Amino acid sequence: MNHQVVVRPLPAAARTAVPWKNGGGVTREIAGSPEGAGTADFRWRVSLAEVAGDGPFSAFPGVDRTLTMVEGDGMELTVAGRPRLVESLYEPRDFAGDVATDCRLLGGPVVNFNVMWRRDAVAAPPAVAVVRGALPVADALVVALSDAGAELGGRTLGRYDAALVDGPAHLVAKGPVAVVTGM
């Protein structure tokens, strides 16, 4: 059986910045399910968050998340009372979205790549990997995380451009690229 590959581009330039309730930054949604769902009713959601200052993260009851810092000098998160240092770029970190989480920036603003999902709405947690080089991908969300960009299914992805891939495709990650599967 021959499966038709569909690559749906999600350009960074088309995203709108939404301020956080606490004023500590803005979020730009990349993709979510169901499409158009808000923060109260998404099944899964992928976004880029610009953290401009110290303060609490928003609580998301019943939600788990993977955070990957993609710009900045780092931050110290206190998750459920336990400190967690986030000082390396492109290292996915998992934590519960419904426990108290506070952030202290280590050297100015940061940008985080966030994947969030409702525990009761997905069969298994999505997998988040940051890759480089040439490799096959299938049924995934692909996001270029640097100016080096990527090539995917004949399309060029610049910094923070993304694409939803339905079926198998060839990815050439010229710099760090997030690949999210299992959504």
Q: What would the pLDDT profile of 143-171 be if each residue is shown by its tens digit?
A: 999 999 999 988 999 999 999 999 999 99
pLDDT at 40 over 90: no
From residue 119, alpha-carbon distances to 44, 63, 153, 157 in Å are 9, 6, 32, 31
Average predicted confidence (pLDDT) for the chain: 93
pTM metric for this prediction: 0.94
Q: Per-residue pLDDT for 90 more than 90?
A: yes
Confidence tier at 2 by pLDDT (50, 70, 90): low
Residues of the chain with CATH 2.60.120.10: 11-118
Which CATH fold topology does 11-118 show? Answer: Jelly Rolls (2.60.120)
Percent over 90 (pLDDT), the chain: 82
